[in-house]
Amino acid sequence: MCPQCRHYLRFDAAVEAPLAPVLTPLCIEGSIRHPADGEPWEYTVVVSIRNDRGEEIAHKLIGVGAMNPNEQRTFTLSVEAVSAKVKTPAKGGTRH
């Protein structure tokens, strides 16, 4: 499955199961609730990735939205990892 859109990448009877299961070394979930009083909020979800030297190697705007008083949003961030071994796709397979 594609980690972005959650659609299946290939559908072929000859396609083998993945070599290794997906690992989730990081998963964070949190919620924010707008107070009952006050003006509506706008929020931005941004993810940045840094290497071991602290240099930013990616910075992505994931989404924007708005919240009215007394509304709640829950956000989940997960990092999924798989083996870096490259398999050749089966004949007739679709690459994503």
The tens digit of pLDDT for each residue in 35-72 reads 999 899 999 999 999 999 999 999 999 999 999 999 99
Decide: helix, strand or coil at residue 78.
Answer: strand
CA atoms within a 13 Å half-sphere pointing along the CA-CB vector of 93 = 14
Domain boundary assignment for the chain: 23-81
Q: What is the pTM of this model?
A: 0.64
- For residue 16, is pLDDT > 80? no
The Cα–Cα gap between 24 and 77 comes to 11
CB 60 within 8 A of CB 67: no
